[in-house]
């Protein structure tokens, strides 16, 4: 899943892709590099970000969706929004799925709207709100709490009639560095709930705080974290750098298909 932020203030690439030409060039690049999904977001949800009016979100989001749908008709488009009314209009404009960082908690109408739209829905765990999530981040028992959250929300979604659900543990959304890595190491438990798992680790502070890097220097750390996520059961990687994520997926797929160690110590070789 390639990230396309049509925002002025996202933490890594804010302001780069606000004009149609830049949006289309970036989309083409990500598709050529192997992106299966283009995730278009019009509201920054970085820590401390201020929300914007619905009208402004629509003015940013809908033209981008329409442009990508027109020029890349075979692409799969995800609309990154936590607002039910925006989700409805995004699908009408050509989006194929909804990626909701609020998991329905930021708009009580989201589940009923998703039931009517009948498109795939990414259910993300958010502790708090984008404005407040790092004031009192989830510091302990993160995996247990996220699993409990998903079980509750899945029940509500199924009761509402939502058919296709993807789970996202919400790395960086109201968690400490330690709780983020607890979730990463325990990701297999989330995949065992029986739904596809999406992870968004790309260039986030959980990587930068461990490595002492800035977002622009965090590609290597992101790739390492993505590989751990794949090995622990992730099905989708949401990334800024599609080429490198696709390479990680190919290496992981080769390991899985080979069904053998990728390295044999010389002392154990049959040729010794």
Catalytic residue IDs:
204, 238
Q: What is the DSSP letter of 73?
A: T
Cβ contact 30:242 at 8 Å:
yes
Q: CA 26 to CA 54: how far, in whole Å?
A: 25
Backbone angles phi, psi at 262, to 5 degrees: -85, -10
For residue 197, the cross-strand partners are 167
Q: CA 147 to CA 67: how far, in whole Å?
A: 38
Strand ordering across the sheet containing 77-80: 2-5, 38-41, 77-80, 97-100, 121-124, 165-168
């Amino acid at each position: 899943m390639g990230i396309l932020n049509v925002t002025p203030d996202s933490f890594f690439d804010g302001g780069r892709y606000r004009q149609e030409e830049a949006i289309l060039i970036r989309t083409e690049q990500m598709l050529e590099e192997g992106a299966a999904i283009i995730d278009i977001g019009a509201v920054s949800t970085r820590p401390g970000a201020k929300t914007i009016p619905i009208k402004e979100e629509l003015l940013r989001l809908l033209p981008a969706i329409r442009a990508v749908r027109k020029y890349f008709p075979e692409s799969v488009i995800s609309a990154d929004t936590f607002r039910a009314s925006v989700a409805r209009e995004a699908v009408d404009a050509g989006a194929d799925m909804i990626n909701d960082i609020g998991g329905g908690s930021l708009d009580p109408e989201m589940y009923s709207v998703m039931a009517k739209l009948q498109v795939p829905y990414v259910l993300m765990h958010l502790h708090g709100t984008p404005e407040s999530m790092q004031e009192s981040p989830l510091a302990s028992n993160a995996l247990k709490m996220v699993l409990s959250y998903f079980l509750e929300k899945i029940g509500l979604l199924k009761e509402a009639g939502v058919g296709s659900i993807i789970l996202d543990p919400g790395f960086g959304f109201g968690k400490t560095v330690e709780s983020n890595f607890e979730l990463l190491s325990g990701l297999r438990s989330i995949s065992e709930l029986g739904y596809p798992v999406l992870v968004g680790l790309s260039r986030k502070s959980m990587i930068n705080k461990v490595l002492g890097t800035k977002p622009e220097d965090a590609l290597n750390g992101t790739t390492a974290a993505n590989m751990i996520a794949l090995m622990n059961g992730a099905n989708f990687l949401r990334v800024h750098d599609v080429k490198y994520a696709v390479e990680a997926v190919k290496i992981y797929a080769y390991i899985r298909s080979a069904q053998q160690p990728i390295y044999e110590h010389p002392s154990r070789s049959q040729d010794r």
